[in-house]
A = this chain, B = another copy of it.
Amino acid sequence: MFDLDEHLANDTVEVGDMPLSRVLLMKDARFPWAILAPRRPGLVEFHDMTQADRRDLMEEAAIVSAALRKLTGATKMNIAMLGNVVRQLHVHVVARSEDDEAWPRPVWAVGTPFPYAEGEAEACALALKSALGI
């Protein structure tokens, strides 16, 4: 049984499900920031996934990356699996711009999340969902 980590659930709104991953949008208006969590129980390290799941996960990450890039016109996409705080395996896909708060540093541990206006996170999630065709 797949259960989404509580921190991930609290920090995001749901975008939708791709064949392997649940796609989420971080509730941080500073950065267009998606997260993919493969719907498999107990995953922690990328190297402990099956080869087929690794391939599927990274293909889904590439699709999300291309979609977010197109939606935002970002300068550079950042893709990362960290997991130091939340161990459940998840992939960050973040659209970066030269005028964003953290540039050129990574987004993690920089400043504090800025809340979206009422309904805006859901609207962004819907735009991404539509771009992904899911």
Contact = CB atoms under 8 A, between A and B. Distances in A.
A61 B46 contact: yes
Nearest to A63: B47
Nearest to A57: B58
Interface of A: 44-47, 49, 51, 54-55, 58-59, 61-63, 65-66, 69, 75-85, 87, 96, 103-106, 108-109
Given A55-B55, A108-B105, A109-B105, A66 B47 contact: yes
Q: Chain A at the B interface: mostly helix, strand, loop or mixed? A: mixed
Contacts of A61: 46
19 contacts: A44-B76, A45-B69, A46-B61, A46-B62, A46-B77, A51-B59, A54-B58, A54-B59, A54-B62, A55-B58, A58-B58, A75-B84, A80-B80, A80-B81, A82-B106, A84-B96, A84-B106, A105-B108, A105-B109
B47 A65 contact: yes
Contacts of A103: 84
